Chain A
Amino acid sequence: MAQERQAAIVGIHEYPLRVAPGVSAMNVKVDSIRAALEDAGLQWSDIDAIYDAQDGEAGGGLQLAAYLGLRPTVLDTTQVGGSSYEFHAAHAMRDIAAGKCNVAVLSYGSTSASNRVAIGTGGRGMAGPANWAQNMELPYGSTLIANYAMVKQRHQFEYGTTDEQFAGISVATRHHAMRNPEAVKAMTDLQFVGVNEITTQDVLDSRVVADPLHLLECCMISDGGGALIIASADVARGCKKPPVWLIGAGEATKYRENHGDITTSAGAQSGPIAFAEAGVTPDEIDIAMIYDSFTITVAVCLEDLGFCPKGDVGAYVEGGRLAFDSGEGPALNTDGGGLSSNHPGMRGIFLLLESARQLRGESTSQVPGAQLAVAHGNGGLLGGTHTGGTVILAKD
């Protein structure tokens, strides 16, 4: 399929704080929307489409429209976990191409840190009416981290991937975080032990939270959020900053299956769809923004998106190619990622925000001449029911 340039990111804002006591999710969303509009040079009243993952306190989508005081002609409340924003971007692309809207807003706000939400280690309580999924899994005390850890365990068993190789993902990401003042402040405010560059050994020496995942292989839990504005080509041409084009998108789901392969994620389905639509290949990608809930998530998704064959990610990441200044590429999570910059629960929006910064030349770990980025979100549980959302972005 020929590459089309019908929709672009024209305004972005990442909420600067990762610890923001006394602030609501709705505060974060509205602050971010205002700032993203300002960045684009657009007006509040220009917004005609809202995409929302239902994260505001009073309920999502409908309540957000009412709170903002808007009457959008497109209202999309897709909630598929952390990859919701890649799904939103995919939907905004096609809604704009179909002429249903011209200026779409995506926003996220969360106060997970201030509210002490134990996302990874909280276990899962009986919530709502009895259901089959809870009845079959809750008795075993699995945690979110244990679910991802089971994927790492199987990957190591099948392909011999080592802890050292996984640790390389944490090391590269921290390298980028230390160059990002907001990430440094995040780690400081969240009282990280050692706000500094880390080594492979540091990762291996950090405590095991759920075998075989070490603490430094796990994302932080922060407050935060952000917003971005996606506009039609006509609107984009009149905005303040160069447009960052959305040129391909794919969506997929995956879940536990009898005889299924836990080391392959939904990205194996969403990735090829997105690359085919964009008309580009993984080896052309400069920036890989891949949801780093854990090292294993990045490892599996690099394989599934086609950066290397299944099982080869250990050798692929060895030698530090993922660092922005390695000269090899792709550069991974150049903002510092969920591991070391920002993870309030649903990181998908930050993948798009940093992709846009890179393709504008505004990153704190800028890859010179970056032309193409992929933002890949994984939502839900990598070793259970989850979604994959892939978006390919291009410099103007």
Chain B
Amino acid sequence: MDMIKDKEIVVPGQVLAKGMDFIPSSATFRDGEDIVASRIGLAQVKGRVIQVIPLTGPYMPEVGDVVIGRIVDMNYNGWEIDIGHHIKPFLTVNDVVPKFKQRSSNFDMARIFNIGDIIRVTIIKAAKNDIKLGTRDRTFGRLNNGILVKIPSVKVPRVIGKKGSMISLLKDFSGCRIFVGKNGWIWISGDSDKELMIEKAVKLIDKEAHKSGLTEKIQRLLGIPEEDIKRMKESLLEENSEESVADEIQKVESALPEEEIQEKKPKAKKTTKKGDKK
């Protein structure tokens, strides 16, 4: 064997191709003449470029990723955020609240972010041993009254779907507000039973991301009538028949939903009034 077949499932250490004609791309490495897979995933051959689309694995942050995080600790300086990575980035209070407001007598850090709060935030630095979070753009803010579901970050494109088809399906049929973090943390807010339904749908996507017929399974789970499922399937067929999971994952790379967030600047509101908000 000289060459792996496109879309074949490969394991770490597996030789994908021999010879200097090929170029190793993501989740692969070169060892002498060989191009070798470094993670379990689907092999992808595009001309001379060989890469592996991982099927699971730890979240590797990249600059620009919009992620969902959770406040896990705080001190007088700021907050420690869990984003599903072994580094828990620190958000300093100075980045979030202007100095003069901090001096106010009724200033209380826990009113801005308390332990257990869920936030949405963008990664602005992703070095191997240092991750920094941005506080200046519109994605930044606390997410109230929802639930958090965690899946491997590599499955995020499947939750979004082709051109955002899956995520709009989930939103439209549940009426829930959903934010999908690049880190695989998903925040869902709506009626409790709808939240539960979306949680189940997301877990099903995680379990069966590599299998065919996923959209129909999700439609059934959401309680969409069979005739409508059929109709939707037919209308979709013309658009994109028989595309592989790998192609799909490529296409939706960074198609995260752009939406208004609930509280853009919690600091402004929170510090000015003697809030009785929790």
Q: Say whether A associates with B.
A: no
Q: Measuring CB to CB, which residues of chain B are less than 8 angstroms from any residue of chain A?
A: none
